[in-house]
Chains A and B, each alone.
Chain A
Amino acid sequence: MSISFPQRSGLTRRRFINGLGAGCVAAALPHPASAMASASGIVPAQASSLWNLTVDHTRISLDNKSLNAPCIGGSVPGPILRWQQGDTVSISVENRLRHEDTSIHWHGVRVPSDMDGVPGLSFAGIKPGDTFTYRFRVHQSGTYWYHSHSGMQEAQGLYGAIVIDPVHPDPNQCDRDYVIVLSEWTDVSPMDMISNLKMQDDYYTFRQRTAASFPKEAREAGNAWTALKDRLAWSRMRMAVTDISDVSGVIYTYLLNGHAPDMNWNGLFRPGERVRLRFINASSMTLFDVRIPGLEMLIVQADGNDVEPVPVDEFRIGVAETYDVIIRPQDERPYTIFAQSEDRTGYARGTLAPRQGMIGTIPPMDPRPVRTMIDMGMGTMKPGETMDDMSMPGHDMPTMDMPEMSADHTEHMHHMGPMAMPPMEVDDPGLPPLNVENQNVAVMPVDRLGSPGDGLEDNGRRVLNYKQLRATRPGADPRPPTREIILHLTGNMERYIWGFNGRKYSESGPIRLKKGERVRFTLINDTMMEHPIHLHGLWSELENGQGEFRPYKHTIIAQPGSRLSYLVTADVAGTWAYHCHLMLHMDLGMFRTVIVE
């Protein structure tokens, strides 16, 4: 089966149905203005190994924001690609953009590095008028996604879902299967966003602490003096507790399968059916908190890999992460899929219902989170306190500089005995400098894998945290790491510069790994924002206390002020991208190359 998405001629209903198979006849056809083939969220009826994709500009208007979006077949998101594990797939990508290169990166899919689609690293990109054919064997199964790695096209609509059928029977087979792509829509160009943020870092934040919000804070703090002291302390640090998302609902309309909230995406079910929802966060700058009021969600897959089912009411999905959940709605009524942005400036929403056209109740948004000293990497310190104020018997400053062993690491040592442990090389850059490119040092970074994230702690709901992710099968590589690479995530919000170890990409060298090497990556987040860190080409096995059943991920949220580690087997040679998946952070320096040689 080959799906061709022609340019300009537009997508007729007939072609739409032909393209996606008969399975989608019952699906809601989206608002005609957006002409989105994939907007039904319904997975194509059959897997195919042959695909033709055409990238072109298409004028799309959503929520009164009109954009000449670079996208595939005039559709945002692009078509859902369904592959079969074990097949060799061949995907031709034709670039019909007039003056821009393009590329497609298969996010989370293990491919040879020249098929990874990163211009400058994997290949030279696809020039206007050219066609590039990606061809690789599919080793894995699960839910993934693809997006452009050229310019800032992924922020404007060049992304879509990938569903890979497993060779073995799928333990999570359901009566219905929907892809839920969360993303953003704006008519502001990403270059303008960067330019504005370089001039004023809180350009898109209209939820700051003000004189008007002071009485409320004073009430919450107990008295005015405490609230004032807290404000002064943050102001002294030149930081804002309201610094949650760099770009907000002020310009973004949040989309669910290409539907703005008022378009209300519809998915159908019959009461009693098991429904699988494959959540993909394809946004460029927004973490979403997802729930379906009235339904328990069973998390069964994270980043394409099956995990032991975790029942939750809510989960946070970082940019570029995927989660598969199973729900079992029993009642003959509509349910709302509610995905609020982390900064609570907006939400994406859709309705699951037994009949077409039903509208679920939209819950109110939660209060916006505020950052704390934990996010600053100051542990339990109070605002305004310094390290000198802390009496820490037996814990003097210099030890902070030393590579500390994580709890998991120590656990390994106990297991294997010190003799079995190969000599460990530690690449430790030490504390990052306070310089033009870095404004904060997390002096007491903490393990936050057990936390669902800022704004979700103690909200009365069962919210997923990383410690709960347990793979259904043991890891493929039981070897302990022979090397640890410590990296600090750094940045200067005021100047809007991002990087690792106080340096942006252009001032840094590649991270070199030997082929077959087993490496522990330790991330210390010195900034007060989340960074979803994505390593191309190789799995990131999160050391979350699940031992050999640690989850395999491709994107890991490093929470502010936290320290975490994951294991990597450098089993595929090549040059790989390694970066924060907040697109503006990546483009402004939080990017490295990892060379496996």
Chain B
Amino acid sequence: MKQILPLAALLVIPLANATPAWAVQTTDHAADAPSDTPVVSVGHISPVMDQGRYFHGILDEFEGRYAASGTDFRWDGEAWYGSDYNKLWLKTEGTLERGRLHDGDHELLYSRAISPYFDIQGGVRADIDDGPTRTWGALGIQGLALYQFEVQATAYVSDRGRFAARFEGSYDFLLTNRLILQPQAELNLYTKSDTGRQVGAGLSDVDTGLRLRYELWRKFAPYIAFTYAGYLTQARRIAHDHGEETGSLRLTVGIRSWF
């Protein structure tokens, strides 16, 4: 954790400075170029509100994954507060399996908009669940890729000098304007195994789903899905040795909602 704090601090510092000069594209002959002598408005009233800050949260997954052997409960959500350029994110996910919480992953990130569709994000991640706790520094990118895929790629470095990476993607396929089919996948990679957390070196685990949601209204959509969560490569052997399930396809029911 000690190594991570300075990194996190470094990433959070730009929050204090809402719009650094390098964010503004200057053009040589624009009649409305930024002025050295700002015009003071009467009564210091801004005629518009283009520096607003907003607060939103979304639960993408809030679901029960059914199986004869027992039903898992999983959530995956995030919330953000901030402006067009600078946002503070809280992301959290986890799975409750037979009374035990695992895959508990919580991140606090600062994000900075860098292009029309992409933000860079950096901060800390803590794996907190019923397994051993791990902490990581995080640096990643999130945005809307070509063909309107939502993508995230994040690299992590742990307090023990290990590295990890996560790739996430989803796509909204509109069957109708309210009935939406969403394939989604999350992949985790690690440089070293961590048997206490069922983590194997290399491609370690995958969590994927095909969700069919109906937007009763924009912010509330129940869904049914097929989800698959499983360990891969070395992690699969570790799980097998522990006598655990190595992967399962499940019928899933859940709710997607946001504010």
Contact = CB atoms under 8 A, between A and B. Distances in A.
> B interface, by DSSP: helix, strand, loop or mixed?
loop
Contacts of B42: 119-124
Nearest to A151: B49
A198 B54 CA distance: 8
Contacts of B28: 429-430
Contact of A121 (B27, B41, B178): B41
Interface string A499-516: 111111111111110000
**A209, A492, A507 pick with most chain B CB within 10 angstroms:** A507
A230 interface: no
A194 interface: yes
A436 to B, nearest CB: 4
16 contacts: A120-B41, A121-B47, A125-B43, A208-B177, A238-B146, A435-B116, A436-B85, A486-B31, A487-B32, A500-B32, A503-B32, A579-B48, A587-B50, A589-B48, A591-B48, A593-B39
A428 interface: yes
Nearest to A125: B45
Nearest to A591: B48
Contact of B45 (A120, A209, A212, A439): A120
A508 B50 contact: no
A101 B45 CA distance: 11
Given A238-B144, A575-B39, A120 B29 contact: no
A195 B175 contact: no
Given A208-B174, A436-B115, A510 B146 contact: no
B148 to A, nearest CB: 5
Interface in B1-54: 19, 23-25, 27-35, 38-39, 41-52, 54
Closest 9 CB pairs of A and B: A509-B35, A124-B43, A429-B30, A120-B45, A120-B41, A427-B31, A589-B50, A429-B27, A210-B174
B113 interface: yes
Interface of A: 101, 118-125, 149, 194-196, 198-200, 203, 206-212, 232, 235-236, 238, 426-430, 433-439, 485-487, 492, 494-495, 497, 499-512, 575, 577, 579, 586-589, 591-593, 595
A587 B49 contact: yes
A507 B18 CA distance: 11
A212 B178 CA distance: 11
B240 to A, nearest CB: 40
Nearest to A575: B39
**A210, A235, A512 pick with most chain B CB within 10 angstroms:** A210
Contacts of B23: 436
A511 B30 CA distance: 9
B116 A511 contact: no
A595 B34 contact: no
A433 to B, nearest CB: 4
A592 B32 contact: yes
A595 B174 CA distance: 48
B194 interface: no
Interface string B129-173: 000000000000000101110000000000000000000000001
Contact of B176 (A125, A210, A235, A503): A210
A504 B51 CA distance: 9
B116 A436 contact: yes
B218 interface: yes
A489 B24 CA distance: 16
A121 B48 CA distance: 11
Contacts of B178: 206
Contacts of A507: 19, 24, 34
Given A119-B42, A427-B30, A507-B34, A210 B47 contact: no
A233 to B, nearest CB: 10
Contacts of B113: 436, 495
Interface string B193-236: 00000000000000000000000001000000000000000000
Nearest to A492: B116
Contacts of B43: 119-120, 123-125
Contacts of B52: 194
Given A430-B27, A436-B23, A492-B116, A196 B218 contact: yes
A583 B109 CA distance: 33
Contacts of B147: 232, 235-236, 238
A124 B30 contact: no
B242 interface: no
A435 B115 contact: yes
Contacts of B27: 429-430, 501
Contacts of A433: 25
Given A119-B47, A121-B42, 13 more contacts: A121-B47, A199-B56, A210-B176, A430-B28, A435-B115, A436-B84, A436-B116, A485-B31, A500-B32, A508-B34, A575-B39, A589-B48, A592-B32
Contacts of B117: 238, 439, 494
A425 to B, nearest CB: 9
B176 A124 contact: no
Contact of B30 (A207, A501, A577): A501
